[in-house]
Each structure stands twice: as structure tokens, then as C-alpha cells.
């Protein structure tokens, strides 16, 4: 989830579990701690995009991070508080330690429900877990948490703050499970439609598009290539598919052996599309796209990936570079997206998507 939502979630967890013991200070601490794991994006500020692919949602998003690091942060907060109060309180110290552990632990857990991929078992394993249930930003999800945080943050009474936070967490749990079910339902519909056309998909993924769980980008892999489509459960109808052949090409094998391509395959959890374009002088440019996020126009294959130049003999000419082709989220795009969400993907003048 986005960092603002993570801050709201951390504050809500803190309010539900620790407002009675620690008061409103727990809400503020939970909000700050909720953003701590996402500080791993700083690696992209001092390195390149490849480093960000490797390290974002890495060790700080492990389920081991909270239990290991949380107690030290909790003790530090309790020590600072004791110096201000002039006395130590073992009960408050334990509460601070548990607050830090739980907030840091729940951060990666809710990230798993997005499509990006989270290394839950780092450093023991670099496997990227993802459930394709939620978009990165969900206004309903965030608004419910915000309401609970406002109640807890402005109320000195725990009999108001704790129930509000608990109800918000209960709603979020139900909303997330609902979103997960929408993804599974979309996969089943896509599989049935493809089977009815005589196409046996080896894998089908339904990625949530912007802001909601019902309208999804569907990527199906089959022996003859990819089928990419969109479907809104709010506007049932046939899924419009685009067939993207993925015929073997020795240039693809050359690029696949590069460390940057291996990193992209790991980062995208194996969901890639390959294409080749001619270049001046008889050479070519191979593009490898992450198919999890994309639209139905120039970014049909994905918002980002790598581009590698090859000479006429198929030899690599230079280092792989990251490319991006994310569309502008202007009023026209958002209006088209809303029409397709509510009326189906064929209702707009041009296909819309996002991730």
C-alpha cells in the first residue's frame, strides 16, 4: 500500500491495541512507525532503478523485521519518555515494545495483498509474495482508516478511540478479503472464456487497476503467447483480449542471460513480455516488459521494463536501461477510466487501465 495508507494503518493498529495504556501518543507513534519499512526506497535516491527493484520491499518488509527491530525502537521510545517523566514504568515500556513490533509486522502483511511483491521471508528467502487483491492506493480503504485515526487522535477517552480503531480494522479485513475474492472471480471468468475459445492458459493473473478492486487488467499466458485484457465486474460482458505472440528468438535468449534481465524476471515474478524493434545500422533493440502494470495502448505490455541494444549479429552493444511509459493521470484519462469501470472496457474512446 502507499505510505500514507501505511501510516494510517499503523496509527489504527496502535490505537486499537495501546490507546488505553499509552494514550494519544501511541497514535502518533504508530503513524510514524507505519512508514519506517518504506524508507528502503531511499536506495533508489543514491543508486539506480535496478537497486530499487532489488531492495524495495526487501529486508524492512520481512516478517522478521518487526520482532527483531521493534523491541529496540520500543525501548528507545520508553527511555525517552521515562526521562521526560522522571521515572520508568515497566508497563509502558512493554506496551511501547509490543506497539513497535505489531506496527512493523503488519506493514508487510498488508503489502502482500498488492501485486508488487513483498519479500516476507528476507533474508532467509528472496521470494516475492503477492496476492493481487488490492491496488496500491484504495480511497475507501484509506478513508476508513483516516476516520478511525481522527477519532483516536482527538479523543482522550479510550472507550471511544479503541472501538473506532477496532471497527476500522475489522472493516479493512473484510474489504481486503472482498477484493481478493473479486480477483479470483475475474480469473475464473477469464479462464472459462478462453477455454470456450479453445485456448488453454497456463497461468492467468487479474491485477487490480486504479483505486478499486472490481476493474482489472488480466494477463493470460498460453503456448502461443499472451492474452491481455480488461474486465469490470460492475459491467459484466465479454473480455476484450489482445493477443501478443511470444515466438522464440535467439536475441531474447541473449538478453535473458544478462543480470539486469534476470533481476527483472525476479522482480516481476516471471510475468514478462518480450518484443524486438529494428535499429539503425541493421541492429535491433530488445524490450522486456513487466506485464503486471499497464494500459491498452502504447503501454499494453507494461509501464516499465528494460531495453537492450544489439548489433546486426545479435551481440549486446551496451548496458541494459530501464524504460518507463506510464500515462499521464489527467482529467481525460480519469473520466475514461470511470466510464470503463462502470460501463465496461469498450465504453471509452480508447482503452483505459493502470495499476
Concatenated DSSP letters of 283-344 = -EEEEEEETTS--SSTTTT-SEEEEEEE-TTS-B-S--EEEE-PPP--HHHHHHHHHHHHH-
pLDDT of residue 333: 85
Confidence class for position 1, pLDDT limits 50, 70, 90: confident
| Nearest Cα residue to 308 out of 257, 246, 248, 244 | 257
pLDDT of residue 353: 37
pLDDT digit string, tens, across residues 67-113: 999 999 999 999 999 888 888 889 999 999 999 999 999 999 999 99
DSSP 212: S
pLDDT digit string, tens, across residues 280-289: 888 999 999 9
Confidence class for position 263, pLDDT limits 50, 70, 90: very high
Local structure of 162: helix, strand or coil: helix
Task: Quote the distance between the C-alpha of residue 244 and its chain's center.
Answer: 25
pLDDT of residue 355: 40
pLDDT digit string, tens, across residues 196-213: 999 999 999 999 999 999
Q: How many helices (H) and strands (E) does the chain have?
A: 11, 8
pLDDT digit string, tens, across residues 225-252: 999 999 999 998 899 999 999 999 999 9
What number is the average pLDDT over the span 151-162? 90
> Per-residue pLDDT for 349 more than 50?
no
pLDDT of residue 327: 81
DSSP run (H or E) holding 277: strand 272-278
pLDDT digit string, tens, across residues 108-124: 999 999 999 999 999 99
pLDDT of residue 49: 79
pLDDT of residue 151: 95
> Per-residue pLDDT for 343 more than 80?
yes
Confidence class for position 348, pLDDT limits 50, 70, 90: low
Give the Cβ contact number of residue 233 at 10 Å. Answer: 15
What number is the average pLDDT over the span 346-355? 47
Average pLDDT, the chain: 92
Confidence class for position 347, pLDDT limits 50, 70, 90: low
Q: Which alpha helices (DSSP H) does 36-157 contain, by range?
A: 43-46, 49-55, 65-85, 90-111, 139-154
What number is the average pLDDT over the span 268-289? 94
Amino acid at each position: 500500500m502507499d505510505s500514507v495508507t501505511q501510516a494510517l494503518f499503523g496509527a489504527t493498529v496502535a490505537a486499537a491495541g495501546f490507546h488505553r495504556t499509552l494514550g494519544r501518543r501511541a497514535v502518533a507513534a504508530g503513524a510514524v512507525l507505519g512508514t519506517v519499512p518504506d524508507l528502503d526506497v531511499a536506495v533508489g535516491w543514491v543508486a539506480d532503478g535496478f537497486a530499487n527493484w532489488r531492495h524495495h520491499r526487501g529486508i524492512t518488509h520481512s516478517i522478521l523485521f518487526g520482532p527483531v527491530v521493534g523491541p529496540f525502537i520500543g525501548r528507545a521510545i520508553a527511555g525517552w519518555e521515562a526521562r521526560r517523566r522522571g521515572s520508568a514504568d515497566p508497563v509502558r515500556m512493554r506496551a511501547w515494545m509490543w506497539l513497535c513490533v505489531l506496527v512493523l509486522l503488519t506493514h508487510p502483511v498488508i503489502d502482500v495483498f498488492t501485486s508488487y511483491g513483498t519479500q516476507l521471508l528476507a533474508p532467509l528467502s528472496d521470494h516475492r509474495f503477492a496476492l493481487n487483491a488490492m491496488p496500491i492506493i484504495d480511497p475507501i480503504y484509506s478513508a476508513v482508516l483516516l476516520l478511525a485515526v481522527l477519532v483516536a487522535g482527538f479523543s482522550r477517552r479510550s472507550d471511544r478511540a479503541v472501538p473506532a480503531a477496532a471497527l476500522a480494522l475489522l472493516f479493512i479485513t473484510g474489504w481486503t478479503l472482498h477484493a481478493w475474492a473479486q480477483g479470483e472471480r475475474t480469473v475464473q471468468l477469464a479462464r472459462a472464456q478462453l477455454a470456450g475459445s479453445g485456448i488453454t492458459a497456463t497461468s492467468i493473473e487479474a491485477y487490480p487497476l486504479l483505486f478499486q478492486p472490481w476493474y482489472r487488467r488480466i494477463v493470460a499466458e498460453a503456448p502461443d503467447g499472451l492474452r491481455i485484457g480488461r474486465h469490470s465486474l460492475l459491467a459484466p460482458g465479454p473480455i476484450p483480449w489482445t493477443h501478443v505472440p511470444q515466438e522464440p528468438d535467439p536475441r531474447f535468449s541473449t538478453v535473458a542471460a544478462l543480470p539486469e534481465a534476470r533481476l527483472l524476471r525476479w522482480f516481476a515474478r516471471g510475468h514478462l513480455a518480450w518484443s524486438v524493434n529494428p535499429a539503425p545500422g541493421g541492429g535491433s533493440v530488445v524490450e522486456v516488459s513487466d506485464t503486471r502494470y499497464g494500459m491498452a495502448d502504447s503501454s499494453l505490455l507494461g509501464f516499465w521494463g528494460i531495453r537492450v541494444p544489439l548489433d546486426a549479429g545479435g551481440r549486446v552493444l551496451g548496458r541494459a536501461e530501464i524504460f518507463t511509459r506510464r500515462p499521464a493521470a489527467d482529467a481525460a484519462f480519469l473520466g475514461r477510466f470511470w466510464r470503463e469501470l462502470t460501463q465496461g472496457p469498450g465504453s471509452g474512446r480508447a482503452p483505459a487501465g493502470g495499476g
